[in-house]
Structure 1
Amino acid sequence: MTVAQSTSRSTATLVMQVLLWSWLIGLSVMVGLGYRLMTDLVDQERVDTGLRQLQVLQTRVTELADSLQALEARPVPATEAALQSARQTLEMRIGQIEQALEARATTDDLQALRSELDQFKASQTAARTALPPNNRAPKPAASKPHETPFPYRVVGVELRAGHRSVSIAPAVGELTATEVQVVLPGDVVGQWRLQAIDGKTAVFKAGDQTRRLAIP
């Protein structure tokens, strides 16, 4: 009788051990699956973030391509000052894009931007070669004595997010990239408001005074 009871207790102990090990193995599998699921979710979030950053970069490159097309569509001959201003403005915009996206943009993206800039410089050189030797910028029309002199000059036109804008700089002094401002219709510079861009003419208004400036 004692031997039977001892055998029964041994069998019960063995069964309990088997059940305990089965429970531990099942728990380990569940923990492993949970960890795998969390890792997959983190990886997916990183992929989504990378895609959003790539979309931002593609948008910037598209805007830059639109600006290049607008610059290339300008009639030849163009003035030396306008070509220089356009190149400086383009270089400034590329520098801003590089600074804003230096943590996201890949080497291939930046190389593509540089390639487009090199193409623009080549077209600028060809345009300068095509200029007649005696070509000069047209003199601005004389202002009436009672009118306030217009303090700015228009140096170019470009597309910004699908809308036309003009680049202006102070009317006097040496033209530098830091003084160039990009103005959209409705923007106010000083006391002058850009009323409209009518073909090759920029219309500014200040009170009752209106200035119509030719766009190079």
Structure 2
Amino acid sequence: MAQGAVKEVGRRSKAVAAKKQAILAAGLDYFSRFGIHGTSLEQVAEKADVSKTNLLYYYPSKEALYVAVLKQILDIWLAPLKAFRADLQPLAAIGEYIRLKLEVSRDHPQASKLFCLEMLQGAPLLMAELSGDLKSLVDEKSAIIAGWVASGKIGPVDPHHLIFMIWASTQHYADFATQVEAVTGKTLQDEAFFRQTVENVQRMVIEGIRPR
């Protein structure tokens, strides 16, 4: 293939990727505010600056777009947990996991809210992903935590409950951001408040599992 043709293919590939990302971002914006039933493809297409026909070329139905948005969210949501490794110092690893989860709440609040909404509805369109990839990853990381407990590196704690507690305490700042702001007058976008949040959540969790 000639160099010019290769460049053209690369240009088109980037254009397609950018268009699909714009559609996903528009979908996330509407779905996180109005849910799947309160969102129309026309609204998403207009916000993404594409025609509805073009949108349907990439995502053949509203349900297909919704699932694509949810899967992208799941990738973002699971990234910090994937970084959790057995060769790390336990308390430092858990502290870093908390920080990364709070960064997700700060940087992707719409994603967190939509994920929460899907869970509250029983995850009808995401259950296969949850019982597959999510469960496998949590089982893998729970085994690491169980090993730390068995070796006395952290206190006796059930791995699943530790992970659930970290999820609840970190995602609260995105899912209930309005409540947090009403009470404190601040959000995670405030750098000082973000640091304070990280330090406090880390302290409460880590002191609770520190070996005695």
Q: Same fold (TM over 0.5)?
A: no
Q: Which has the higher contact order (CA 8 A, sep 6+)?
A: 2
State the structure with more CA Rg.
Answer: 1
TM-score by length of 2: 0.37
TM-score by length of 1: 0.36
Which protein is richer in strand relative to its size?
1
